[in-house]
Amino acid sequence: MAGLILNEFWVPTAECWFWPEGQTFTVGDSSNGGTGSGTCAKTAKPGATDPLWNSRFRMGCVSAGSIKSESDQTDVYCANGAALVRAHTYRIKQKLTVEFTSQEVDPIGFQLAFGSQTITVGTVQFNPLVKAPFSNGWLKLQLYNQNNSALRIVADLWGQLALPNGLPFEQEGHIESQFQFDVLISPLSTISAL
| Ramachandran quadrant class, 51 (left: phi over 0; alpha: psi -120 to 50; beta: rest) | alpha
179: containing domain:
13-193
What is the model's pTM?
A: 0.83
CA 151/CA 14 separation, integer angstroms: 9
CATH label of the domain that carries residue 153: 2.30.110
Say if 95 falls within a structural domain.
yes
Q: Is residue 8 part of a domain?
A: no
CA–CA distance, 167 with 176 (Å, rounded to integer) = 8
One DSSP character per residue, 5-36 reads: -TTS----EEEEEEEETT-EESSB-GGGT-SS
pLDDT in tens, 13-35: 888 999 999 888 988 887 766 66
Query: Domain tally for the chain?
Result: 1
pLDDT by residue for the chain (194 residues), tens digit each?
455 555 566 667 888 999 999 888 988 887 766 668 888 999 889 988 888 888 778 888 888 888 898 988 899 999 998 899 999 998 888 899 999 988 887 788 888 888 888 777 777 888 888 887 788 999 999 888 766 667 788 899 999 999 998 888 776 667 788 999 999 999 999 988 87
Rounded Cα distance between 158 and 60, Å, is 19
Read off φ and ψ for residue 73, nearest 5 degrees.
-110, 135
In a domain, 171, yes or no: yes
